[in-house]
Amino acid sequence: MARWMTAATVALLSPILLPAQQLRQQTYTLRTEPPPQVISTNPFLPLWGFFQAEYERRINPNATWAVASSYTNFNDAYYTNIDGKIRLYPNEHAPEGLGVAASVGIAIVRGDGGSLICNPDGPCVHRRADVTVPTFAIEGGYQWLLGSHKATAVTAGFGVKRYFATDTDFGGDSRVLPTGRLSIGYAFK
């Protein structure tokens, strides 16, 4: 009698239990497609009078293109940058997760135009007040898309940027500078 009751219970509940079990398995195997676009900015830089923002759009599952702009100070010079980037996502879930980017751009570097630079092996020259130069950068970072709709983007990363200028343009300062990124943004379709 107990076997008959068990068999009847399983027969009655199987139309309910099997779809629930199949749905549970599908939930683990399906990946939600992230929104294809992200606009982000560093919310802390304006407190010191600086700026950084980026717009990123998915090209295919493992790549995005982006346009970024920033205004910062480093070593008593002010840098205004505009960059175009290509970012690769090895997890093929762009624009979410680990990303590596290469960028080209243009920078305006403003320094104190009155400074005199003297090289030990050569003559003294005046440093230019403003110089516009092309740039190239490599960066790595991680972008988290948070929330049930993956609409909140949080990004952290670092890299290096090369400013193609002469020593006279920068007054002997390094032309390869570190870059950093900490931004919060909105991901959308």
Euclidean distance between CA atoms 126 and 187, whole angstroms: 47
Sign of CA dihedral 105, 189, 152, 26: negative
Q: What is the pLDDT of residues 143-154, one digit of tens each?
A: 999 999 999 999
- pTM here is 0.75
27-77: pLDDT as tens digits? 554 567 899 999 999 999 999 999 999 999 999 999 999 999 999 988 778
With CA atoms as reference, report the closest residue to 40 among 156, 140, 137, 139: 156
Distance CA 53, CA 63 (A): 19
Identify the pLDDT of residue 9: 58
Distance, in Å, from the CA atom of 70 to the CA atom of 41, rounded to the nearest integer, reads: 10
Q: Which residue from 6, 24, 26, 4 is spatially nearest to 14, judged by alpha carbons?
A: 6
